[in-house]
Structure 1
Amino acid sequence: MRGRPPLSMAMLAVAVLLALCAAPAAATPSTTPTPTPVNPGQAPTEAPRPPGHAVGDAGTGLSLIRALPGAVPTQSIMPGESEQLPKQPLAEIGFGLASAQANSEAALGYERAVAQAEPGGAAVEGRAPTPPGAVVQTALPDNPTPTTGGINPPSSPLDALVKVGLLNGSAQARWDERTGPCVDPIADARISMASLSALNAIPSLPSNQNLSGQLGPTPRLPDPKPLVDGLNQMSGPLSQLGGLLSGKATADATGSLLSVPDTMLAHSTVRLVDLPGSANKAVRSTSTLQVAGIRLLAGTPMEIRIDVVTPPTLTVTSTGDEKTSTVDYTAPVLRVSQGGKVLGTLDAANQKLDVPIGIPIPGPNSSQLPKLPVVGGLLPNGSPAPGNLPKIDVGVLRLQNAELDIKKAAMTQPFAGFQLSAVARLLDLQLLPTDALGLPNLPSALAQVSLGEQISRAYAPTGGVVCAAAAGGVTPGGPGGYAAPPLAYTTAAYQAVPMFLTGTAMLLAGSIIVAALPSRRPRRPTP
């Protein structure tokens, strides 16, 4: 009988087994393959990114009502920052919001392009929940056609503050799997509002008629008794501006401080445009607003008409270079008139107009005093107020427009380029208290309504946006696209599992070899 094989033969067998078992282990992928969606129409959770980089957004709000602006400190997680940031309103309500966003750097595929047409939204002390009833589209996947919808807001306790008519909106978000933002448009949102009536009451003012003992002396009015007597003669409390406001919503907007009888339209879009002298593109964000006219104290002889002669358009274009990036703003032109007389024109050169609200003071002829405040220079019957009429101005209606705030910054993260942004408003209506109104803890503004608030921002890489697919690779949608980035190692099992399987196979093969080879018995010594 033969003996066991020599040690050299056993080592050779082990080397052969290692070579044979290492082949499957070497063929194991270096990382986990890119996961594919279960549903073919589902967006990937982490979509591969094409070479084109583009970030931009445009937002247009038809109406924003702010109660007690600048009354609440802004909270911040950074120590000491709250004191440096501007204060926020106690409450904000917005209606007719159109938002278009593009972000090639978003981690999730469905966040690359987002378009929203929201009927309304609210924020309390700076916190804003997501409102229901919005028309929304996201990409990926691409959306060749927009989504449309409409909503008729029901009656609610907010009607005393604002009442809106039927709203209709559309939203479209697009993104190409191979070239990314190189579609037209990237994001587009628009919304129309049939009518609007705002500030049927001023919640920050007292709702009781008699203010005896509540008005304190002021440098302008050391003795508040004449003003208290004048307010007692009014047909409504100070929260209704002495009877000018109804305190509740009406079908014809009578009794509202501000109303828009005709349809308003907000449109926001983000797209790429040609870059002169280059095959690349520039990022352009555009906000437009269409409105015919605005009314203050509609339906009364003291009505103030605000006709929009020129509607505003805000366009921000980023080429990736500060020298060629631009902000184009068509400033609105508003003509303000009362009783057939032009009070003034609001434009880029004349941005502010004040209209006083006066309370007549009782005197020897108190029975002939009007029961409503004097607005501007008109009595409640529409006739001019006499110059000798004793009155105290308790508030001012301030009209302001054409505010344009531009910010620019050279960026290095997430990519090198240039960012440009701008903010503008069609009209700000503020109700300001005067020094004669001696109510404690009054803010600088009692209420504020912003019509046509516009925001545009564009951020492009240096040299412009590249509109070409990366060479090689296969996209989920077909060949010829960009290559998916490798995933990171997340566990040691990438090496442990092949090693375990290799060792198990070697142990099994070794056992078979040892069992199959014959063994040599030792010879007995001959006697």
Structure 2
Amino acid sequence: MRRRPPTALALPAAAALLALCATPAFAVPTTTPVPSPVNPGQPPASAALGPQPLGHAVGDAGGGLAVIRLLPNSQPTGSILPDLSKDLPKQPLAEAGFGLSSAQANTEAYLAYERAIAQASPMGFAVGGNAPQTPGALAQTALPDNPQATTGGLNPPSTPLDALLKVGLLNGSVHARWSDTLGPCVDTIADAQTSLASLSVLNAIPSLPSKPDLTGLINPSSKLDANTAGEVVNSLKSMSAPLSQLGGLLSGKQTEDGKGSLLSLPNTLSSRSVVKLVDIPGSRNKAVQSTSTLQVASVKILAGTPMEIDINVVSQPTLQVTSGGDEKSSSVAYTAPVLQVVQGGKTLGTLDAANPKLDVPVGVPLPGADQLGKLPIIGQLLPNGSAIPDGFKKIDIGVLRLQIAELDKKSQALTGQPFAGYQVGATARLLDLQLLPTDALGLPNLPSALAQVTLGEQVARAAAPTGGVECGSTPGPGGSTTAAPPAPQGSPPLAYTNAAYDTIPLFWTGTAFLLAGVVVVAALPYRRAKRPTKQ
């Protein structure tokens, strides 16, 4: 029975994907480093025996169904290098990713079972930049090869963000393949899928005050006089709940049906990450291709309220990068999503590559206007579901910003490590929902964004040597195509430790002498000792 892969290897993407999706990285995926000899004359830690694959390939793809960030760009990023922290972009106070899928191929990995990794993880989270490992993932590694995929349910562990979200049933499937002789030249190297039955996030906004009376906290700005600031304070006092619950639109606790959440996905959504080799036109060699796909039906904002906003996903996003070893044979293909934003049967706008951003105002009625149930005003509808009439007095205290795509791609030539060739990488997002404060919400120490939810983060990278990936293997002993490394004369190959060179021959020599002695003793005639005769 095959031993399960160690947890430290099986769960790297649960936390690392949150940073991986931020920008395309161009280093080889992290694996166990090759140990160096202590003494210059010491033999290497290990050496390959038998036929070895000729091809070199590095690629990975990842996807996250949902990522929540609280107070983005508010915390300094630490670094082990002196004076580097001030030059690094700031990070969120807390972030969590759900429904993560990760596929990785790396012929340069030192350990055999790190050459192909497929993983489906329920979640990963980080607080202040610290990302502990999370249990409950599915993982397959190769070598050895896996003829069948592993499937099963994923159980999200408890996190500090449990009060802000509700996660439905999670399922995953992982499949990692590798050939002993051909290496990455298999049908699909790594394939990981994750599906999520439902999700509701941000039942509260912790970065906003949890008390209704903000007297003395809202400071007049250059665009807001003292009288208007006082009117905003009075309006917020009359709301049915504090600002941390958006005046009563959010429940402040987990809900089973998604009601009382800022954003919810009532239907199944899934992500898939695949790394494989594909043909290069006009060449016998292969290219490395990494693909991340998403399937999402619809998204709801403030579900169950008269001001509910429906986001219909008309076109699903697909991110695919291919590297054939040079710029000409490498490419980034991205199918941008098309999202239709609807409120009260009226289309507010369509998000696509040409129009990637849409702002929905969050306002409060000023004194003299009907309070209409003591709730804020979202978009073009009043809390009773009717359209805002002409002359209605309100002031916008925030903005719900919807944004898609944000494709970021980079490429570079590889000169030495891990091989000479070409690498390409890209990241993209299905939908960003940000809650931004306006000048009217003049609270002290407010960041530029109060909260951010990202649906469908995608990342893909691929690297191939110059000329592409060569499929084949070095010949074994007696091969005629390419000369195998000359066999050592005399004794057979020994284990690569210093003592083994002397210990193993001495062991077998002593054993041979011992067996010879047993045979000699057994072959001698047995003579019974004479007993003295009695006189």
Return the TM-score normalized by structure 2: 0.80
Q: Which amino acid aligns with 2:351?
A: L
Q: Which amino acid aligns with 2:240?
A: S
Matched, 1:295 2:300: yes
Equivalent residues in 2 for 1:307-386, closer than 5 Å: 307-363=312-368, 368-386=371-389
Aligned residue for 2:83? 80
Equivalent residues in 2 for 1:442-457, closer than 5 Å: 442-457=446-461
Give identity over the alignment, percent.
Answer: 66
CA contact (8 A) 2:494 2:504 kept: no
Equivalent residues in 2 for 1:76-475, closer than 5 Å: 76-153=79-156, 158-223=161-226, 224-363=229-368, 368-412=371-415, 413-473=417-477
Deviations 1:428-460 (A, max 9, x none): 000001111111111110000000100000000
CA contact (8 A) 1:360 1:370 kept: no
* Cα displacement (A) at 1:159: 3.5
Greater than 4 Å deviation, 4+ residue runs? 30-36, 46-49, 152-157, 480-499
Aligned residue for 1:15? none
Q: Which amino acid aligns with 1:173?
A: A
Q: Distance in 2 between matches of 1:474 and 1:234?
A: 85
Q: Distance in 1 between matches of 2:319 and 2:173?
A: 20
Task: State the SS of the aligned residue for 1:246.
Answer: coil
Q: Distance in 2 between matches of 1:136 and 1:290?
A: 22
Q: Distance in 2 between matches of 1:498 and 1:456?
A: 51
Deviations 1:125-151 (A, max 9, x none): 222222111000111111111111103
Q: Distance in 2 between matches of 1:55 and 1:481?
A: 27
* Cα displacement (A) at 1:276: 1.2
Q: Which amino acid aligns with 1:326?
A: S
Task: State the SS of the aligned residue for 2:153.
Answer: strand
| TM-aligned CA distance change 1:33 to 1:157, over 3 Å | closer
| TM-aligned CA distance change 1:238 to 1:493, over 3 Å | same
Count how many residue pairs are aligned between Structure 1 and Structure 2.
458
Task: State the SS of the aligned residue for 2:447.
Answer: coil
CA contact (8 A) 2:94 2:126 kept: yes
* Cα displacement (A) at 1:81: 2.1
Q: Distance in 1 between matches of 2:451 and 2:52?
A: 46
CA contact (8 A) 1:217 1:438 kept: yes
* Cα displacement (A) at 1:483: 6.8
| TM-aligned CA distance change 1:47 to 1:361, over 3 Å | farther
Q: Which amino acid aligns with 1:352?
A: K
Q: Which amino acid aligns with 2:447?
A: P
Gaps of at least 5 residues in structure 2 are: 1-40, 488-492, 507-535
CA contact (8 A) 2:51 2:473 kept: no
Aligned residue for 1:22? none
Q: Distance in 1 between matches of 2:504 and 2:275?
A: 49
Return the TM-score normalized by structure 1: 0.81
Q: Distance in 2 between matches of 1:91 and 1:106?
A: 32
Aligned residue for 2:17? none
CA contact (8 A) 1:241 1:373 kept: yes
Q: Which amino acid aligns with 1:325?
A: S
* Cα displacement (A) at 1:356: 0.3
Gaps of at least 5 residues in structure 1 are: 1-29, 37-43, 500-527
CA contact (8 A) 2:372 2:382 kept: no
Q: Distance in 2 between matches of 1:462 and 1:65?
A: 40
* Cα displacement (A) at 1:78: 2.1
Instruction: Look at both structures and tell me which one has the larger radius of gyration over its CA atoms.
Output: 1
